[in-house]
Structure 1
Amino acid sequence: MTRLWLIRHGPTHQTAMTGWRDVPADLSDSAALARLSAYVPAPALVVSSDLIRAVTTADAIAQDRQRLPHDPDLREIDFGAWDGLHYTQVAARDPVLSRAFWDTPGDLAAPEGESWNVMTARVTAAIDRVIAAHRPADLVVVAHMGAIMSQIPRATGGTAVQAMGHHIDALGVTDMTLTPQGWRIGTINHRP
């Protein structure tokens, strides 16, 4: 059986949109990291996005688990020209597009960025590659809020809007199991 443990990286304390900007995570809460590491299975494989906030979080919880190479396809959605801007700045700059981007996620993209559908296809392909190479296995994937949300519909059959309605905390865990009948969701945003 294959089980995914999707973990959002540690907090960044950013107040602006943060997609592909490479900002560090605050990993000063060693007790939270220890609880998280103890929560995921000991023989699990660990993979992360190549952005520093995911890499350092994965390294902090990996312990004796096998660490797979960082994968750029596990990155957050590319917010393009919006990356680094506060949500109010984005709304002022692109009022119609920014509203539609969140209200009807799909093929709309931020200027010079990518759409929900493109990000979802990218992340799904990356996870499927790792699963194919290591099946069956427990797989810890340290990634980003959007990347994690993009995988929820695989198990729930829900829409992108429904997936985006979930809150995904820093260091929150969402688990999914691949059964013969397909994906099954476990918990969403569990905080060990």
Structure 2
Amino acid sequence: MRRAFWLRHGPTHAKVITGWRDVPADLSDHAQIARLDAYLPAQAVMISSDLIRAKATADALSPRLRLPHEPHLREFHFGEWEGQGFDAVSQSAPELSRAFWEGGEDICPPNGESWAMVMARVSRASDRVLAQHPDQDVIFTCHFGAILTQIARHSGLSAYQAYAHTIPPLSVTEFHQREGRWFVVRIGYCP
């Protein structure tokens, strides 16, 4: 059985839409990081998004074989909404923001990405990494939205259904592969 572990980066404490903004993670919860480190397989290959919060989270774990940082594992690009509060966005673009957050899979924030675009981007990167390491477990250290797209992809969920899941910072969403198919085993697990 092969496994893929999708680790969400540490908390940013941002009160605004973060997306591609390069904000640091708070990695002061050493006990949680130690539990994650003990839970994740030591022999797994690890790859992270190229944003500092994901890279630093991966760096906080025990050394594992690290692959080059992957920009295609980034969070949603929220375009003009980045750096704004959710209330400000909903007031300035009520219909568009509602359609986006209610799972409009082809709806984009101004100059940003849609759910479908992010799912395609993250899926291509994931498939490539998994194909390059066919006999190894892989740890993907990345972001809430990237993880949600893979839950939806491997569970047959819509964007709206996927948004209902909770993925806390420093949690693991785990997939197992059997007979060539990936199955969701745990979502947002905090060891």
| TM-score computed with the length of structure 1 as normaliser | 0.97
Match of 2:7, SS state, is: strand
Give yes or no for contact 2:17–2:84 (8 Å, CA) kept in 1: yes
Match of 1:21, SS state, is: coil
Give yes or no for contact 1:8–1:143 (8 Å, CA) kept in 2: yes
The within-5 A match list for 1:109-148 is 109-148=108-147
Partner residue, 1:29: 29
Give unmatched runs, 5+ long, in structure 1.
Answer: none
C-alpha displacement at 1:65, in angstroms?
A: 1.1
C-alpha displacement at 1:85, in angstroms?
A: 0.3
Partner residue, 1:162: 161
Give yes or no for contact 2:9–2:54 (8 Å, CA) kept in 1: yes
| Cα distance between partner residues in 1 of 2:20 and 2:174 | 24
C-alpha displacement at 1:58, in angstroms?
A: 0.6
Query: Partner amino acid for 1:168?
Result: I
Match of 1:186, SS state, is: strand
C-alpha displacement at 1:105, in angstroms?
A: 2.8
Partner residue, 1:13: 13
| Cα distance between partner residues in 2 of 1:136 and 1:71 | 20
Query: Partner amino acid for 2:26?
Result: D
Aligned residues: 191
Partner residue, 1:184: 183
Give yes or no for contact 1:2–1:131 (8 Å, CA) kept in 2: no
Give yes or no for contact 2:103–2:158 (8 Å, CA) kept in 1: no
Partner residue, 1:94: 93
| Cα distance between partner residues in 2 of 1:180 and 1:125 | 20
Match of 2:13, SS state, is: coil
Partner residue, 1:60: 60
Query: Partner amino acid for 2:21?
Result: R
Percent identity of paired positions between Structure 1 and Structure 2: 50
Query: Partner amino acid for 1:112?
Result: N
| Cα distance between partner residues in 2 of 1:156 and 1:112 | 29
C-alpha displacement at 1:64, in angstroms?
A: 2.8
| Cα distance between partner residues in 1 of 2:43 and 2:181 | 23
Match of 1:104, SS state, is: coil
Match of 1:99, SS state, is: helix
| Cα distance between partner residues in 1 of 2:148 and 2:181 | 18
Q: Could you list the structure 1 runs, at least 4 aligned residues long, displaced by more than 6 angstroms after superposition.
A: none
Residues 89-118 of structure 1: CA distance to partner in whole angstroms, max 9, x if unpaired?
A: 001111110000011330100001010000
Match of 1:188, SS state, is: strand
Partner residue, 1:42: 42
C-alpha displacement at 1:137, in angstroms?
A: 1.2
| Cα distance between partner residues in 1 of 2:26 and 2:85 | 20
C-alpha displacement at 1:181, in angstroms?
A: 5.0
Match of 1:155, SS state, is: helix
| Cα distance between partner residues in 2 of 1:46 and 1:132 | 14
Query: Partner amino acid for 2:36?
Result: L
Give yes or no for contact 1:54–1:142 (8 Å, CA) kept in 2: yes
Partner residue, 2:3: 3
| Cα distance between partner residues in 2 of 1:52 and 1:179 | 33
